[in-house]
Structure 1
Amino acid sequence: MDISLNRDLDSLNLALDALDEWVVVVDHEANIQFINQPYAQFLGIKREDAYGHKVVDVIENTRMHSVLKSGKKELSKLQKIRGRHMIANRYPIRRGGEVIGAIGFVVYHDTHQWQQINTQIKALVSDLDYYRRALDKEQTGAHYHINDLIGRSPAIQNVNEKIKKVAGGDASVLIRGESGTGKELYAHALHLLSERSKGPFIKINCAAIPEHLLESELFGYAEGAFTGAKRGGKQGKFQLANKGTLFLDEIGDMPLSMQAKLLRVLQDREIEAVGSNRLVKIDVRLVTATHQPLEKLVEVNEFREDLYYRINVVSVELPPLRDRREDIPALAEHFLTRLAGRTGRRAPKLTVDALTRMLEYAWPGNVREMENAIESAFYLSQGYKISLQALPAALTDGIELIDQHLEQGTLKERLALAEKEILEQTLVACKGNRQRAAKVLGIGKTTIYDKLVRYQLTGESFDH
């Protein structure tokens, strides 16, 4: 073999050793001819010791010999090696139409990586499969995908990214936020992004069910369990959510007696219906929500500490509307368009003074209050504009203003103050990166530079 060929092979080996993927090559008799260093290191062997040995003797559950026999490639196949699940691709190597060997790649070293990738893919293509998801919604009970949730503010984008990251696993998620921030909508989105998206999505509001009925609602009851019980019994929410997601809203309002029973179910992964002595295994992902400070409830013994840690594996905090006011115009347009679709009426636009007042208002009821305000104004307004006078009295009377000084000055001055504050908030969230801030706000680089000069703001001063 000449020097240049040796050099080429050495370079190829170095390149294969640098890959994240694990690589193995076998000859026509399924003997290992090459294995890259990362793969050998995982197997706990010296790769030179593997050369010439049958691949089945070195790599457990391999199918390289099967590829040699069939001459067909195998893509995205699950393989368990040393107690870990892998995703592998295998290809036959041909010369002159004859199979002379095979090469295999372990693309994902753990199924968790595959779940994360799968979650990202689902998020990217969600706007292309509207009709498929509409059908899925009817089957699963979940109605809102991540792309259905309106908002481009840094605060809401951070929430969306967190939801995408945790959706692929099975960890319990606690969604926190004030009333009206959209906690249930995010529970829907989490389910539809998860590996359980084809399974049921079952929800229950713990504050809406009387204490004496909550146990049977959650765990079901057997026939004859109590007076008035249905013949044949009834399944509870846990049974209905099997292989899917159970969403417990207002978990902070659950009575202590039920908290103990819920904890046992989460620990043992089995339930016992009321009036039954039979334990039933369940496979449910739990998502909970609350507007209450659970830590303070734990301190005063109104919420079990052990249950708190069980449900709070991942915590997602939804920002109040007053902290994401740059989303108000898009939310208003979304609600008006939806109302127009329902009524067959052309979607009206907010006048500048109406939008200004909406930007000033504190929105104690958050997005839910804003939706109600828009609906009220929609039906009270005439023509294609919604004026300040059409807004509910809470807004037009100047109640709950975030900054009292915004009540003063001309409309132009008040708009400028609101715009400046939105720019400041966005620059802080983007750590002073003006290009990123421009992208978040949906404006060009030249436009944001002009506005920064106008309001005497500098991107660097926000880099903290």
Structure 2
Amino acid sequence: MEDKLAELKESIEMLEDILNYAYEGYVLVDPEGKIVKMNYEKLLGIKEEDAIGKPVEEVIENTRMHIVVKTGIKEIRDVQRIQGHDMITNRIPIIKENKVIGAVGTVLFKDISEVKELAHQLLDLQSKINKYKGEIERIEGTKYSFDSIITRNPKMEYLKKVGRRAAETNSTVLVTGESGTGKELFAHAIHRASYRKEEAFIAINCAAIPRDLLESELFGYDRGAFTGARREGKPGKFEQALGGTIFLDEIGDMPMEMQAKILRVLESKEFERIGSNKKIAFDARVIAATNENLEEAVKKGKFREDLYYRLNVISIEIPPLRERKEDIEPLAKNILEFLLEELKLGEKEITRETMNILKRHTWPGNVRELRNVLERAVNLATGKFIMPEHLPERLFGRYDYMAGNMEDIPLLRDVVAEAEIEAIRKALMLANGNKSLAAERLGIHRTALYKKIDKYNINDVYN
């Protein structure tokens, strides 16, 4: 008995050590919301013996622990104002046999500024990774050329000619088109065909960077510019792109205040790091891309008209795949060849019946959706041929294209959502839950992947 008691005491002490080291502070309450255990002395100056047995709301400022034990609903990463600090807290009910028997509250960060500092550090790390990637790309060249743009469509051939002419100049280029049509492909090709091809190609997704970090990510910062800034400062994307090309993807999602600063750079041909008065001459080609209708955004006051005209010097509007049906077969064959080599699979080919189904589909996700469907098919096809049964049901089972039954036509957003959900699940599965690797495989920023996981409530794959 004494051995068991000693073992239990050791386990409790170990649990206390874990809580003390893992969190800035913690509190445990009973079903009545009274404190039974806490460690807030270092954080708030409150001794445990003075707090035990008291209602938690009388001890901890702005707490909701007494509410959580009543509702049984956990509250994660909530901002709580305590002694003049905005702390990040978790409140989790303890449930046993379907009954709330208490709750535990923990302080993850003692001030929200710590979260911002951590975010800056993560972006610094990402910047270093991108720097090395940029060096590799300078040696190996950009990923794509105009030969990478597979097409039989007259309009696409014309756009390739426009792109080649644009590459000979230094004018800004605005590439528009639905998601998945290949806007970044054109940006790479223009850079690779230009006299700047030996210099850096720097891409940034304007929608993926948090609003309060976007300026430092674009323009960089000097030492001491803000709490958590690196001692030596950090160059931004515009500085990294000097001599080369900067690709501003999803420009339509850029906040209005940042639009003004981008316009100033384009007009003055110079910029400053945050926290510095030193002017840096800007010499780089600017290519912007968006799937938004910027003219409509200008009319609604969501996008600056002066910036729109600055960007829209050379316009390349990529048509969706449904408007260039003749491209489906050559694209499918090219993607299949790439996938077989990438996945180290044997020889496979698409049957005529399967190809006809691919040609009839409207492809709301465009070339990205086509690639996703083919990757699924090559994984399911055990033999040499990719058959109709290897395709998702949405391509042929939900509605009859030939019959033209209007009631059976699904909403475009539902089809896109289904395609994205399927692609994200597959990527997470193959990446064993590694979200960074999954995001890279999907060709999107990690932040964008987290947003989509939350949007579609994808929480049952390696969560």
Q: 1:276 to 1:379 in 2, by over 3 A?
A: same
CA contact (8 A) 1:362 1:402 kept: no
Q: CA deviation at 1:402?
A: 6.1
CA contact (8 A) 1:250 1:290 kept: yes
Cross-structure match for 2:384 = 384
Q: How far apart, CA to CA, are the structure 2 residues paired with 1:279 and 1:243? A: 16
Q: CA deviation at 1:325?
A: 1.1
Q: 1:232 to 1:327 in 2, by over 3 A?
A: same
CA contact (8 A) 2:204 2:248 kept: yes
Q: Helix, strand or coil for the counterpart of 2:248?
A: strand
Cross-structure match for 2:172 = 172
Letter in 2 for 1:267: E
Q: Helix, strand or coil for the counterpart of 1:223?
A: coil
Q: 1:209 to 1:136 in 2, by over 3 A?
A: closer
TM-score by length of structure 2 reads 0.57
Q: 1:406 to 1:299 in 2, by over 3 A?
A: closer
Q: Does 1:300 align with 2:300?
A: yes
Name the larger-Rg structure: 1
CA contact (8 A) 2:141 2:192 kept: no
Q: 1:363 to 1:348 in 2, by over 3 A?
A: same
Cross-structure match for 1:198 = 198
Q: Does 1:360 align with 2:363?
A: no
CA contact (8 A) 1:389 1:396 kept: no
Q: CA deviation at 1:140?
A: 7.1
Q: 1:322 to 1:380 in 2, by over 3 A?
A: same
Q: How far apart, CA to CA, are the structure 1 residues paired with 2:176 and 2:184? A: 10
CA contact (8 A) 2:141 2:197 kept: no
Q: How far apart, CA to CA, are the structure 2 residues paired with 1:315 and 1:203? A: 19
Q: CA deviation at 1:332?
A: 1.1
Q: How far apart, CA to CA, are the structure 2 residues paired with 1:324 and 1:140? A: 32
CA contact (8 A) 2:221 2:233 kept: yes
Q: CA deviation at 1:245?
A: 0.5
Letter in 1 for 2:182: G
Matches within 5 A, 1:81-100: none
Q: Does 1:250 align with 2:250?
A: yes
Matches within 5 A, 1:7-406: 137-139=137-139, 142-399=142-399, 404-405=403-404
Q: 1:198 to 1:403 in 2, by over 3 A?
A: farther
Q: 1:226 to 1:141 in 2, by over 3 A?
A: farther
CA contact (8 A) 1:256 1:303 kept: yes
1:126-174 deviation digits (Å, cap 9, x = unpaired)? xxxxxxxxx9844376210110121122121111111111110001000
Q: How far apart, CA to CA, are the structure 2 residues paired with 1:394 and 1:292? A: 26
Q: CA deviation at 1:367?
A: 0.3
Q: CA RMSD in A?
A: 1.9
Unaligned runs of at least 5 residues, structure 1: 1-134, 408-464
Q: How far apart, CA to CA, are the structure 1 residues paired with 2:219 and 2:357? A: 48
Letter in 2 for 1:255: P
Q: Helix, strand or coil for the counterpart of 2:221?
A: coil
Q: How far apart, CA to CA, are the structure 2 residues paired with 1:180 and 1:356? A: 21
Q: CA deviation at 1:403?
A: 5.6
Q: CA deviation at 1:347?
A: 2.8
1:351-407 deviation digits (Å, cap 9, x = unpaired)? 1221111110000000000000000001011111011010012213245x7664499
Letter in 1 for 2:198: K
Q: CA deviation at 1:275?
A: 1.0
Q: 1:187 to 1:340 in 2, by over 3 A?
A: same
Q: Helix, strand or coil for the counterpart of 1:175?
A: strand
CA contact (8 A) 1:141 1:202 kept: no
Q: How far apart, CA to CA, are the structure 1 residues paired with 2:322 and 2:257? A: 37
Q: Helix, strand or coil for the counterpart of 2:235?
A: coil
TM-score by length of structure 1 reads 0.57
Cross-structure match for 2:448 = none
Aligned length in residues: 272
